[in-house]
Amino acid sequence: MQWQLTFLLIGLCEVLQAQELRVNDKVTGNLLQEALLPCSFVSADQNARVSQAIWFKDGANIAAYSPALGIKVKDSDRIQFVNPSDTSTPLRITKLLASDEGKYTCEVSIFPEGNFKGTTQLNVQAVPQNSANVVQVVAGDQEMTVATCTSANGRPPAQITWQTSVPGNVTTDMTNNTDGTYTLISNYRITPTWTADGEKITCTVTHDGKETAIPLKLSVQYTPVVTIEGYDDNWHLNRKGASLTCNAQGNPPPTIFKWTTANGSPLPPSVHVNGKILYVDQMDENVNTTFKCEVTNAIGSRASQQEVLVREHAMLTQTNNAGAIAGGVIGGVLVLLLLAAVIFIVIKRNGLHSAKGRGSYSPKTRVFGTGKPSQEFNYQEDSELDRPLKGTIPPRDSGLSPSLCEEDDEERMDYKVLEDEEEEEKFNEVGPMLQLRPHPQVGSYLDDDMESQTDGSIISRTAVYV
């Protein structure tokens, strides 16, 4: 008895497993194109056959097939059975509409097995047309749209995002089109400043898991931003080859550069202008004035001024830090070599004439020891000036060890803050003042280089003091 029951159960299971109605869980078709919904009966039984098949959409009967009675379809222009047979009754829908989206159930009667059904989700999608453009604006204090991104006639609705370093607000509107598609229009809005001009911005449209990125560059028109370059605070009588350059950024590009003196008097006869450059032909007291450069583009004009001081005599030639360090190192090495040589000679001579001895050499040794020789190395650059300038040079401009010390002062202070807890409070009070000090113009009319320098120094200070 037990054996027989077991065999019966196994046999039953095999029959059940071998029989199934095969449909797709999900089918996606494109709008106005077609979709195929498979439905087939699989069985080990060679004699099994469909006696009737009915397709329902969201519960409503839309198509029926019977080998004996024929085919009946509700919307036969767009809906057909595809080669219906004893085991397969697939449905095809053409010229897909958004309203075709839904649950399709294939229900079949199989002789002699009975009734089976399977359901397919049909989604209708449409690939959107994406586009983006910048809106050219003029710098101002009103928030306005500077870029627009459109994703038209997509289904399901696309998503639009923006990527840029320029802070702003996004507004996105969606229109439900009558054909079941969606059109999105997204605006990127900022309060346009000249620094936003030329900045990169990307619109990314996401649809059906795919991303489309459209890169753009903002265009903000603005009155020229003007800086004057070329004055080094060391213009002196009879200096040759001096000039001032009027640098200007603008959108649209500046067209007119106009040099004047700030007090309205005509330019001195000892200078001449060529475009954006003012050349000093003869450095005399007439040049001892404030020059003004006014730059104009289609948006407007803006001026910058440079106060010029013509000195009686040159100051010590200024060297930059890298040069100063290099000079200091080379100078130091030379001094050491010289010192070694002197000592060597002294020792040798002392050996020979011990009576005269050290006295005559010690003054020199003292001079080298103070670090002053480094100044002398600098003077060699301009030997004419060597004598008159000696002694009048402020130590800070020597360009060598004194200026290095100045930098060291700040660093040393930083270390102090970190190391000396007692004094920490004192330095914290000083901290904010230092942060405000270096560049009062921060933000508004700096060129890019200055801006990054400013950022750099502020950040490093903050990092130490906060």
Ligand X SMILES: *[C@@H]1O[C@H](CO)[C@@H](O)[C@H](O)[C@H]1NC(C)=O
191 binds ligand X (CB under 6 A): yes
State which H helix or E strand residue 205 sits in.
Answer: strand 200-207
**The two three-digit tokens of residue 271, written as one number:** 């200078």
On the 0-12 / 13-18 / 19+ scale of CB atoms within 10 A, 165 is exposed
Question: Please, which residue, 178 or 383, has the CB nearer to ligand X?
Answer: 178
Q: Of residues 230-249, which lie at the interface with ligand X (CB under 6 A)?
A: 237
Angle (nearest 5°) at CA 11 between 6 and 12: 100
Number of residues that bind ligand X (CB under 6 A): 13
Question: What's the closest the beta carbon of residue 341 comes to ligand X, in angstroms?
Answer: 45
| Segment interacting with ligand X (CB under 6 A) among 16-24, 114-122, 305-313, 385-393 | 305-313
| Segment interacting with ligand X (CB under 6 A) among 48-56, 103-111, 307-315, 356-364 | 307-315
CA–CA gap between residue 126 and residue 98 (Å, rounded): 9
| Segment interacting with ligand X (CB under 6 A) among 88-96, 121-129, 192-200, 306-314 | 306-314
Question: What's the closest the beta carbon of residue 169 comes to ligand X, in angstroms?
Answer: 4
Question: What's the closest the beta carbon of residue 176 comes to ligand X, in angstroms?
Answer: 4
State which H helix or E strand residue 103 sits in.
Answer: strand 102-111
Question: What's the closest the beta carbon of residue 27 comes to ligand X, in angstroms?
Answer: 20
From 14, 20, 34, 143, residue interacting with ligand X (rule: CB under 6 A): 143
Question: What's the closest the beta carbon of residue 311 comes to ligand X, in angstroms?
Answer: 7
Query: In this structure, is the dihedral angle defined by the CA atoms of residues 228, 233, 236 and 239, taken in order, positive or negative?
Result: negative
285 binds ligand X (CB under 6 A): yes
Question: What's the closest the beta carbon of residue 75 comes to ligand X, in angstroms?
Answer: 24
310 binds ligand X (CB under 6 A): yes
**Torsions phi, psi of 404, nearest 5?**
-65, -40
CA–CA gap between residue 293 and residue 295 (Å, rounded): 6
| Segment interacting with ligand X (CB under 6 A) among 309-317, 348-356, 360-368, 402-410 | 309-317
CA–CA gap between residue 183 and residue 29 (Å, rounded): 19
- 199 contacts 165 by C-beta, under 8 angstroms: yes
115 binds ligand X (CB under 6 A): no
288 binds ligand X (CB under 6 A): yes
Tell me whether strands 235-236 and 310-311 are parallel, antiparallel or unpaired.
parallel
List of residues 6+ apart from 167 with CB closer than 8 A: 190
Tell me whether strands 114-125 and 26-30 are parallel, antiparallel or unpaired.
parallel
335 binds ligand X (CB under 6 A): no
From 6, 169, 255, 318, residue interacting with ligand X (rule: CB under 6 A): 169
From 48, 91, 190, 417, residue interacting with ligand X (rule: CB under 6 A): 190
Q: How many CA atoms lie within 13 A of 377 on its CB side?
A: 22
156 preceded by cis ω (within 30°)? yes
| Segment interacting with ligand X (CB under 6 A) among 166-174, 224-232, 374-382, 417-425 | 166-174
From 90, 118, 128, 168, residue interacting with ligand X (rule: CB under 6 A): 168
Residues in contact with ligand X by CB under 6 A are: 143, 167-169, 176, 190-191, 237, 285, 288, 309-310, 312
